[in-house]
Amino acid sequence: MSDQNARPAGDFPPGTRVADFRLEEPVGRGGMAVVYRAWDLQLDRQVALKILDPALAEDAGFQERFLREQRAAAAVDHPNIIPVFAAGEADGVLFIAMRYVAGADVRTLVDTGGPLPAWRAAGILAQVASALDAAHARGLVHRDVKPANMLLDAGRPGERADHVYLSDFGLSKPALAALGLTQAGQLVGTLDYVAPEQIENRPVDGRADLYALACAGYEMLAGAPPFRRDQRFALLWAQLSEPVPPLTAIRADLPPAVDGVMARALAKSPADRYQRCGDFVAALREACQGAPGHAGPSAAVTPAAAAEGALTQPADDGLPVPWTVTEPGTDRAATATEPGTATAPGPAAEGALAGGQDFPGASAPGTATGPGGWIKPPSFPGQPGAVPAEATGPLPVAAPGGAESPPGGRAPAARASRTSWNSRMMVALAALLILGVAGTAVAITRGTHRAVAAMPGCVTATATASAPRLGAVHPRFVTLAGMPFAVAVTGNGRWSFVSTGDGHSIDVLRSGGGGAPPVPVRSIGLPAAAQGEAITPGGRYLLAATGSGAAVVSVARAEQGRPGAVLGSLTSPGGAGAVEVTLSRNGAFAFVTLQRTGTMAVFDLRAALGSGLREPGYLGSVRLGVNPIGMTVSRDGRWLYVTSQRRDARAEQGSLTVVDVRRAEADPAASVRAVVAAGCDPGRVITTSLGAMVWVTARASNALLAFSAARLRTHPGSALIASVRVGQAPVGLTALNGGRRILVANSGAHPLRDTPASLGVVDAEAALQGRPALLGLIPAGSRPVEFALEPGGRMALVTNSASHQLEAVNLASLG
């Protein structure tokens, strides 16, 4: 395997051998590792094999520390700690072999079933607490306790329910620092559960794990963690300074004593918390005595009720903060912060956040001053808070009940701390202001907000954008038999699949290698015209929008040319005109836009596949505008953005609909969160981490539109942040360089006269700052429609529908 050292961790096909283990399929991934279901060839048993990012294996010092820490973790023999069978290095690959647990994790349990009864939550927490206390007794700190790392063993008949395994003791901060993967101000952990001392880069012990365990327990009882914010900065602020929202405001069935237990467990100072995890769980159980949900099963609060309570909605594609949140675990919803450009504080940083990003909940420009000239940010829903007018003074402190103490005052919870809250918060803000470790730096200024852009009108005559031609970029073209519509690339980059609407087929292409365009190999016939495509996270199935749903294709059979590649179809009663298909982040659900019926069909893909596609998996439909087309799922998997056209006698106006994914999976008809105007004839939509933006092409406006993801849900009327004039009739788009550039397919189509097609390169940061953003144009074939990126972002593939070509663009030549 020495020739595979440069592979990404998730780029090993089934059948690959790592040491004495044969990989079967990926079952989870995080920011630094991928976990595979694998077979132990020596002991003839199934295991979970975690493979670390190959970059980590290149440092000998890291390898030594990694193996030492894994031996220490494996030495903790406890029934609720997932057993480690082996750890080592093989041909440049670092791996950990663990017991394979067939059940779900607690995160999935809460996501699918809502808040848990008190008796069940306490039972799970007790097992995890016992495991943590055992680890702490041996000097080990987990550092990443969260529901996704609490595995529920399916067990065997007659065994106790909810046997919990705590997984992923992961990598300590010293191990990462040895490789240069941590610097001052960086975190090891997950923001929803991270303790204040971790944020402040202070020494941690078992009480940091206790804080995370309490956050997880709060989520089990409420349906969401205690602090939920639309921006990562706001979440960090809340963990450092905000009081715990009372659980009883969300769960009226819980006794008031529960709030006191949670307040102590989530105290900002470690000294004010319980000193052992078991003490916390014992206090919680005692507080829950007599609660309706404590003695046995009862009706739990619905996820919808929890979402509409005191908690705000989950973070979306938030503005990256200068902390690197390493994800040693395999949380299926983990979101990696996109790398950004460090921005030093200075006069140019005039927004509330770098680039002008607004605080969540901001309704209009302006400031509100408090005593001593302090500027309050627009309120985080249900939570007090303050930011300084200048980044050089002390911070006010939110006292109990939301009142602010004067500068220099202290909240009671901070009295035991060695430093005042003012000093501690200044340390955190200083890090936010000056560090640019992993993302765009955040700058606090005088309370100004990102401007609201004007919605562009419809273009009534042909026009072209003013931009230079990028002569250094020389696309290469592959001619296909049919009219290509969409293209999808496998995770290893070896195969591409192109849907051909007129040919009722899927063209299979093999990678050309070395920067060469892919090579057509074969075609697979379909019963109807194929449009949009999506590949499931594990890479086993290709879905192609067709008819009233989607055709399901076996990727392995398609690659090998074996018969029976088309396994069946997802169908919706009364649906027609399928145009795009996308998947939930875990691949369990599929969504298909149906142009002719103005709806989006929702399918339980996992159930349909489980039935051998004998059942269609149809759950219901989401009512949208006329001609729904493009859609994308947010990076945290929580929201779905759908574009719809609306043609009438006056103009071609369209909309962008925000759909709550969890509600769509449970009750599609009640899942629409917001609808906003999206220019004339909107086409495709993507999301990027940069500024938490949603980008939409407006074909009849010749424009690329940028919406604030947070405002779409809270203040949709002011969500449009930027409008960029691009080429004629833009359709498809894709993000490059972590979202700093957007590549747009200008089809050139116009009712009066077609113009030459092109691919426009847009500087996203310039667009959001109101500066000229169209960097240049790349020649294209006829009618470019949709994009796919090869792994690593080395090459973009673009379907050219009118010229029957697939265009390959070497992105390295863009500079």
Q: What angle, 0 to 180 degrees and rounded to 10, lies between the N-to-C axes of helices 277-287 and 118-137?
A: 160
User: At which residue do the structure tokens 């077609």 appear?
Assistant: 754
667 belongs to the catalytic site: no
What string of DSSP letters covers 336-356?
Answer: PPPP------STT--SSSGGG
The DSSP call for residue 302 is P
DSSP code, position 475: -
Calculated CA dihedral for residues 152, 154, 155, 156, nearest 10 degrees: 160
For residue 325, CA distances in Å to 162, 186, 375, 611 come to: 29, 7, 29, 39
Angle at 695 between CA 450 and CA 331, to 5 degrees: 95
* d(C-alpha 471, C-alpha 491), whole Å: 30
DSSP state of 105: B
Query: Which residues does 723 contact at the CB level (< 8 Å), separation at least 6?
Result: 453, 454, 455, 456, 679, 701, 703, 704, 705, 706
Neighbours of 504 (CB within 10 A): 17
Instruction: Count CB atoms within 10 A of the CB of residue 613.
Output: 18
Residue 3: how many other CB atoms lie within 10 Å:
8
Strands 397-398 and 652-660: unpaired
Answer yes or no: are the C-beta atoms of 630 and 580 closer than 8 Å: yes
Which residue is listed with tokens 């072209």? 464
Burial of 298 (0-12, 13-18, 19+ CB in 10 A): middle
Report which residue type is found at 590: A
Q: Strand, coil or helix: what is 63?
A: helix
Structure tokens, 137: 């007794």
State the Cα–Cα distance between residues 546 and 572, nearest whole angstrom: 11
Element (H, E) at 688: strand 682-688
Active-site residue among 144, 209, 272, 358? Answer: 144
The residues annotated with a catalytic role in the active site are 144
